[in-house]
Chain A
Amino acid sequence: MADEKDPRFDRLLDHEYDGITEYDNPMPRWWLLTFAGTVIFSVIYLFDVGPIGNGKGRIADYEAEVAAAAALQPETPSMIDPSQLLAMASDASVTSAGQQVYASYCAACHGPDGGGLIGPNLADGFWIHGGSPEAVYKTIAEGVLAKGMPPWEKSLKPDQMNSVTAYVLSLAGTSPTNPKAPEGDPYTP
């Protein structure tokens, strides 16, 4: 304490309460300066001086953030060629990766083996929203909100999108244990 050399330091007041006494010490200067500093900061902030303040406001900041991100990223991730997807469906290294994605995100509704549960059967060759590779990819990517299928485009990485599409295509013709009745139209490649 810088003030300790002050002769007025540690002078007792004539206050006494149940044996408790009080010094008349000055308030620490650094403390007073801190207090004053926060008040000055608050005034500056309130009047939005320079970089201190709300600036354009939280909604404008958000819109700028979205615009900056949009400028940086292409609009939609390009889907790979449908024939490539079809080829991947018979590539075990791709479908095993796809199976893992499927187990984490799809199995809850479509059953662990694609037999359908809340969502439709994926193995019976019948499709509500089309069975072509590009239609299946689109359904997974964009979802079908009206029927409760969420869009996965934002949640899955591009390679996960492709591998899970390939895996779903590979389910065609398998025989799940508890198959749900077919829904939609048959699709033949």
Chain B
Amino acid sequence: MSSAVLPMEGAAASPRLESFSYDDVIVRKFLWATFIWGLVGMLVGLIVALQLANPIFNTSLEWLSFGRLRPLHTNAVIFAFAGNAFFCGAYYSTQRLLKARMFSDALSKFHFWGWQAIIVSAAITLPLGFTQAKEYAELEWPIDIAIAVVWVAFAINFVGTMIKRRERHLYVALWFYIASIVTVAILHIFNNLSMPAGLFKSYSIYAGVQDAFMQWWYGHNAVAFFLTTPFLGLMYYFMPKAAEGPVFSYKLSILHFWSLVFLYIWAGPHHLHYTALPEWASTVGMLFSVMLWAPSWGGMINGLLTLRGAWHKVSEDPILKFFVLAVTAYGMSTFEGPLLSIKSVNALAHYTDWIIAHVHTGALGWNGFLTFGMVYWLLPRLFQTPVYSKKLMELHFWIASFGILLYVVAIYSAGVTQGLMWRAFDTTGRLAYPDFVETVVRLLPMYWLRVAGGSLYIVGMLLFGWNIFMTWKRRPAKYEVPVITAPALAKKYVPAPAHGAPVPAGLWARFAAAGWHRTWERMPITFTVLTTVAVVVASLFEIIPTFLIKSNVPTIATVKPYTPLELAGRDIYIAEGCFNCHSQMIRPFRHETERFGEYSKPGESVYEHPFLWGSRRIGPDLARIGGKYPHLWHVRHFNEPTSMTARSIMPAYPHFLTKTLDFEQIQSRVDAMAMIGVPYGDAVRGQAPAMARAQAEEIAAEIEKQGGPAGLADKQITAMVAYMQRLGMDLRAQPTTVGVAK
């Protein structure tokens, strides 16, 4: 098979034959990166799972505590594992679907090495505590710029390939790639707009409610356009390839593609139900999520029904098994997504492990298994030798499936258990579990089961790696590079003579025959623009009111900016990733206000760059922690949490008591905040370090007076105590009874 002549379009097309070859070198590179980073990301996942099961796994090294490693796990799995898998499959399939080599080998290489460099920089900076504190957008601004540059290079390479294609129409897989490439760029750029305060520190230009909105517009659509649409594209190529049968329905492809792209982008606010986000936004987020159910399932149906007539193959072919489970997991998690977005369901699930279980059904099942099936299908084609062991593939499938089952069953029950414990009242009208830690330790057996399930998945991953490695070892001395011959596209499209059905009569019938869409498929640039319009218009419908409607965020007169020392403490809180376990957003439910105090108001967050509302409560909410305990309590608690709460699973932070606070640096932080609109005024100009020192000395003296250690005035702990003691205090300064102190 050294050359192949591919069929051409309508006979009238000019038959100028061109010879070319596909770049599979880059595909092989991405394949290796997929496996290596996948293993790394999952091992970090195992470490954080162990840390939750027993805090001793946080070790005494500050770089390896849960708050710093959890973002490394999510970023590695999303952007390194799933990202490289998408690129691997996209570079392979795009060239073949367009009958063209990639536009530029240099851009392909730049994309590959640039992306790996970004991953390495993430793996270094996240444990060092450089973070923007926005989920899945933690990386600091220099890395964000690098991501944008590499992504644009990928986009140019992709569009360039479409332009020089030799296939007239764009296949559905390419539609999904286009949507992914365009939307990820938009989301990434607009969510990461920030004010730098040094090389590895920045503050989001948005604050509070708006920042929360932007973050979850991004966060939800990172799931949509990084983990869903790219993989639907991959599914549309690799599944019919592996099943050797036609795709079930072209019409379904059209409808579910456009409805998915248009509806998905609205759904973000469902991550913020019952928070200080305006209720209208929350409602819109919920309804668009409900309407997303069918469009999402359109992909699942088209995938599963493509296997009609091939089901007997599934029992023999492990690749198809992986695909079937992937698509089924996709169906389950995209049914669960709309369900979770319903407010009353979300009231129970939000802040609990239910969400963690939900994303792992998606990540381990859908993204993982689709990747495994795709790579196994690619192995003989890329390494030009049969796969080393089909038996190992089967074993991988069963071990990993069992691992997923164990993981999600344990974590679903953990989520529901904790959600129900939080809201339980006893017969005297008191919280049934007032001690927060009680609702945490109840989950520990489930956390150990998760460790077991995750470990099985990783064992599967090792079998996967062994199979890749052994297949690679048997590769030929020199890879054959088939020369492909195909006619260039004529300038003008001449349709092939219609065979089959005649053009239907009637307006609706003609519309339903989708000839108009066929036209779009011949125009890649138009198609890209239309996709962009769908995404941007839908976004603006929500973004504009969020920023412009004043009544979204009623002002609270007593809310003031943080003092310089409190701001420094907040920066440490961010660096340590405290927001990964502690929310600062009390929802208007009696069980929350009984436990944590008055529910959070939008006006309280107006100086919160970035917002720190959190998404998971592994520890208690901190929105009203200020003034609840004496300084010394915090000192001892940070130093050794179990000394104050015997069964706490929080990591210890003894280094707060020994590390010196960089007072001089605080000025640049305050200045950056002032630049984005926090009203610090003249008093702080150049005075921030002195003000911080004065407050630190007061706090240190108070700690000593309470019987604590002396000499803490220049240590980080004073900033942390200052920040903790400030949280929620502004609202308390507000007269709450109507008619008093007017």
B250/A38 in contact, CB under 8 A: no
| A20-B171, A23-B246, A59-B588 given; A77·B274 CB < 8 A | no
**Least CB separation from B633: chain A residue:** A118
In the complex, chain A residues whose CB is within 8 Å of the CB of B338: 38
Q: List B residues at the A interface (Cβ < 8 Å).
A: 7, 93, 96-97, 99, 167, 169, 171, 237, 240-241, 246-253, 255, 259, 274, 279, 283, 286-288, 290-291, 293-295, 297-298, 301, 305, 338, 425-426, 428-431, 434-435, 496, 498-501, 588-590, 593-594, 599, 627-633, 636, 643-646, 706-708
In the complex, chain A residues whose CB is within 8 Å of the CB of B588: 58-59, 61-62
B434/A117 in contact, CB under 8 A: no
| A23-B250, A38-B290, A118-B706 given; A155·B295 CB < 8 A | no
Listed A/B pairs (30) with beta-carbon separation below 8 Å: A18-B97, A20-B240, A21-B246, A23-B250, A25-B249, A26-B249, A26-B251, A27-B252, A27-B298, A34-B293, A34-B297, A35-B291, A38-B291, A38-B338, A41-B290, A45-B286, A58-B588, A59-B588, A61-B588, A62-B599, A73-B428, A73-B429, A104-B435, A108-B633, A108-B645, A109-B630, A109-B633, A118-B630, A147-B630, A148-B629
Minimal beta-carbon separation of B655 from chain A (angstroms): 21
| A26-B249, A38-B291, A148-B630 given; A180·B707 CB < 8 A | yes
Given contacts A22-B246, A23-B250, A66-B593, 6 further A-B contacts (CB under 8 A): A16-B7, A18-B241, A21-B247, A109-B633, A146-B627, A154-B594
Tell whether A175 is near chain B: CB-to-CB under 8 Å. no
**Least CB separation from A109: chain B residue:** B633
Neighbour of B248 across the interface among A25, A108, A150, A180, CB < 8 A: A25
| A38-B290, A150-B628 given; A58·B298 CB < 8 A | no
A107-148 near B? 1/0 per residue, CB < 8 Å: 011000000111100000000000000000000000001111
Q: Which 6 A-B pairs have the closest CB atoms?
A: A148-B630, A35-B294, A73-B429, A62-B588, A155-B434, A42-B287
| A14-B496, A108-B644 given; A25·B252 CB < 8 A | yes
| A22-B247, A72-B429, A154-B431 given; A145·B627 CB < 8 A | yes
Neighbour of B499 across the interface among A14, A23, A59, A66, CB < 8 A: A14
Neighbour of A28 across the interface among B287, B301, B425, B706, CB < 8 A: B301
CA distance A32 to B252 in the complex (A): 10
**Least CB separation from A37: chain B residue:** B294
In the complex, chain B residues whose CB is within 8 Å of the CB of A31: 252, 294, 297-298, 301
Neighbour of A17 across the interface among B97, B430, B629, CB < 8 A: B97
A11/B500 in contact, CB under 8 A: yes
Name the prevailing secondary structure of the A interface residues.
mixed
In the complex, chain A residues whose CB is within 8 Å of the CB of B293: 34, 38
| A18-B97, A39-B291 given; A54·B246 CB < 8 A | no
Q: List A residues at the B interface (Cβ < 8 Å).
A: 8, 11-28, 31-32, 34-35, 38-39, 41-42, 45-46, 54, 57-59, 61-62, 65-66, 69, 72-73, 77, 104-105, 108-109, 116-119, 145-148, 150, 154-158, 180
**Least CB separation from A103: chain B residue:** B646
**Least CB separation from A8: chain B residue:** B501
B589/A154 in contact, CB under 8 A: no
In the complex, chain B residues whose CB is within 8 Å of the CB of A118: 630, 632-633, 636, 706-708
Neighbour of B249 across the interface among A23, A35, A116, A156, CB < 8 A: A23
**Least CB separation from B171: chain A residue:** A17
Minimal beta-carbon separation of B530 from chain A (angstroms): 20
Minimal beta-carbon separation of B510 from chain A (angstroms): 14
A65/B298 in contact, CB under 8 A: no
Minimal beta-carbon separation of A8 from chain B (angstroms): 8
Best-buried of B7, B338, B707 by chain A (most CB within 10 Å): B707
In the complex, chain A residues whose CB is within 8 Å of the CB of B589: 62, 65
Neighbour of A150 across the interface among B283, B287, B629, CB < 8 A: B629
Neighbour of B279 across the interface among A8, A20, A54, CB < 8 A: A54
**Least CB separation from A20: chain B residue:** B240
CA distance A57 to B252 in the complex (A): 38
Minimal beta-carbon separation of A115 from chain B (angstroms): 11
A25/B633 in contact, CB under 8 A: no
CA distance A57 to B298 in the complex (A): 33
In the complex, chain A residues whose CB is within 8 Å of the CB of B593: 62, 66
**Least CB separation from B239: chain A residue:** A20
CA distance A25 to B589 in the complex (A): 49
**Least CB separation from A116: chain B residue:** B707
B287/A45 in contact, CB under 8 A: yes
Neighbour of B169 across the interface among A15, A77, A104, CB < 8 A: A15
In the complex, chain B residues whose CB is within 8 Å of the CB of A66: 590, 593
In the complex, chain A residues whose CB is within 8 Å of the CB of B633: 108-109, 118, 148
Neighbour of A38 across the interface among B237, B251, B294, B435, CB < 8 A: B294
CA distance A34 to B252 in the complex (A): 14
In the complex, chain A residues whose CB is within 8 Å of the CB of B430: 154-155, 157
| A15-B250, A35-B295 given; A65·B594 CB < 8 A | no
CA distance A19 to B242 in the complex (A): 11
Minimal beta-carbon separation of A64 from chain B (angstroms): 10
A77/B428 in contact, CB under 8 A: yes
**Least CB separation from B255: chain A residue:** A27
CA distance A54 to B342 in the complex (A): 11
Minimal beta-carbon separation of A128 from chain B (angstroms): 13
In the complex, chain B residues whose CB is within 8 Å of the CB of A41: 290
A11/B7 in contact, CB under 8 A: no
In the complex, chain A residues whose CB is within 8 Å of the CB of B498: 14
In the complex, chain B residues whose CB is within 8 Å of the CB of A11: 500-501
Minimal beta-carbon separation of A27 from chain B (angstroms): 5
CA distance A55 to B645 in the complex (A): 41
CA distance A25 to B302 in the complex (A): 10
In the complex, chain A residues whose CB is within 8 Å of the CB of B645: 108
In the complex, chain B residues whose CB is within 8 Å of the CB of A150: 628-629
Best-buried of A16, A147, A148 by chain B (most CB within 10 Å): A148
**Least CB separation from A40: chain B residue:** B291
Minimal beta-carbon separation of A55 from chain B (angstroms): 11
In the complex, chain B residues whose CB is within 8 Å of the CB of A117: 707
